[in-house]
Amino acid sequence: MQGWSKNNLIVGTPENPTLYTIRAQTDTAVATAVFSVPCPGVITATPTITPTPQYCGAFFEALPLAGSNYVLVSGEVGTTVTIIDQSTGVTLGTDTFLEVPGHQCEGFADFSGSNALIAPLNVNHTLLAQPEVGQPDTAVVLDVTVTPSPVPTPSLSLAPNCTDQSTAIFDVQGANWPTNEAITLYWNNSPQSIVPAGHPGNFLQTWSKSNLILGTPEDPNIYEVRAQSNSYVVTADFYAPCPIQQPPDLEILSTPVLFSTPPIVAYQPIDVGIILRNQGGDMPAGQTFFVDIFFDPTVVLSTSIPITQSVGYTAVSGMSSGETRIITITAPLGFTNYPITHTMYGMADSRQQIVEIDETNNVSPPGYLPLVTPAASPTPTPIPTPEYCGAFFEALPLAGSTYVWVSGEAGTTVT
């Protein structure tokens, strides 16, 4: 071991020091070492910043309904969400978000079955959806009562229901009439036609009227159309000319609500609720219109869904301005086995009979149903194969003759 002293050394930088080599050598070996000027800097590793996880949190996917014991919430898959009534401080229930595509978040909880809320929701109470991770959400319980609509009563509607000319062509449509009762139709107390008993409960006729007396838009002349059976009398008004008035505005307030009790089985009848409000002006929706439901439609427009894809409907009598109703509609054939997650839509004024302020709010936001118990597809009724008589020689053909005797199906030919 030796102690050395050196001067006039050239000083580099800690990042790039000057290097001096020291060598020790014998007849049989050589070894080297490096001396740095200055001492090299210690390289400190930059710590990796762990990103803060971004969680979806919780979102109410439909307005909570007074009297119901469930809510529809989306959030982070695999985490839990707790529903708290902030107006009382009571915890109503906890559920786990299951992976269901098509929602605001990838997880979905409906608080059904064993996870149903412990008490019915109260009008105007504020609910808190507190997720395990992410931001919470709040919603106010809607001021309506979840009561299934009564059995629809017979209705009568005119489309259009007014004219600005002395002549008019319009449709007269009825729905929900007793099938075992004949229906007589009147125009200003004058009989026009009869719908015989045995009809399907609905009817549609096109009428043409002339020599109409026109009033004024402020005071139109009113013609009465009346439908009368043994049990019911329903009227609808036809105006000449069309009156000046603020039209209604029918709006579906939330996604369709499933009234049927889980488990939901494919191809079984399903009851669906639609929350409908007329938020138009002072004029009532003074004629009958139709509300339809759609399961998994292939075309959804901003103003309509093709009526051929409807799975259930009901007729609704005119709604006053500001009136809110919950309409119950039955889909007789229910859901199919596929797709795995079903979509539900509601549409007000599906036949587009009502002239409205806004036609873009008649279609509801989509509702989703991820859990349908599969079932065998209904077997279509087979069409019997016709039994034809064919052809039969009735006597042995004779050589030299120009005829034969054959029997077979009447009205058909034989060669």
Task: Tell me the pLDDT band of 409, cut-offs 50, 70 and 90.
Answer: confident
Contact of 260 with 296, CB cutoff 8 Å: no
Q: Which residues pair with 313 in a beta bridge?
A: 292
Residue 251: per-residue pLDDT: 92
Q: Count the neighbouring beta carbons within 10 Å of the beta carbon of residue 233.
A: 12
Q: What is the share, in percent, of the chain residues with pLDDT greater than 70? A: 90
pLDDT confidence tier of residue 244, bands split at 50, 70 and 90: confident
The answer to whether residues 93 and 167 touch, using CB atoms and an 8 Å cutoff, is no
Residue identified by tokens 């936001």 is 365
HSE, CB side, 13 Å, CA atoms: give it for residue 153.
Answer: 11
Q: List pLDDT tens digits, range 176-189.
A: 999 999 999 999 99
The answer on pLDDT for 146 being more than 50 is no
**pTM listed for this prediction:** 0.41
Above 90 in pLDDT, residue 291?
yes
Q: Which residues contact 310 (CB under 8 A, 6 or more apart)?
A: 292, 293, 294, 350
Task: Supply the pLDDT for residue 145.
Answer: 46
Q: What is the DSSP string of 167-178?
A: -EEEEEEEES--
- Which tops the pLDDT comparison, 115 or 197? 197
Contacts of 220 (CB under 8 A, 6+ apart): 162, 214, 239, 240, 241, 242, 243
Tens of pLDDT, residues 199-234 = 999 999 999 999 999 999 989 999 999 999 999 999
For residue 71, what are the CA distances in angstroms to 112, 150, 161, 260?
8, 24, 41, 15
**Can you list the domains of the chain with their CATH numbers?**
1-42 (no CATH), 58-140 (2.60.40), 155-240 (2.60.40.10), 250-373 (2.60.40.10)
Task: Say what the pLDDT of residue 245 is.
Answer: 74
Q: Is 188 left (phi over 0), alpha (psi -120 to 50) or beta?
A: left
Please state the φ and ψ torsions of residue 14, each to the nearest 5 degrees.
Answer: -60, -30
Beta bridge partners of 391: 408
Tens digits of residue pLDDT in 148-177: 555 678 999 999 999 999 999 999 999 999
pLDDT score of 147: 46
Average pLDDT over residues 30-44: 72
Closest CA to 64 of 143, 147, 148, 149: 143
Residue from 168, 295, 162, 317 nearest 232 by CA: 317
What is the average pLDDT score of the chain?
86
What digits encode the pLDDT tens for the residues 306-321? Answer: 999 999 999 988 788 8
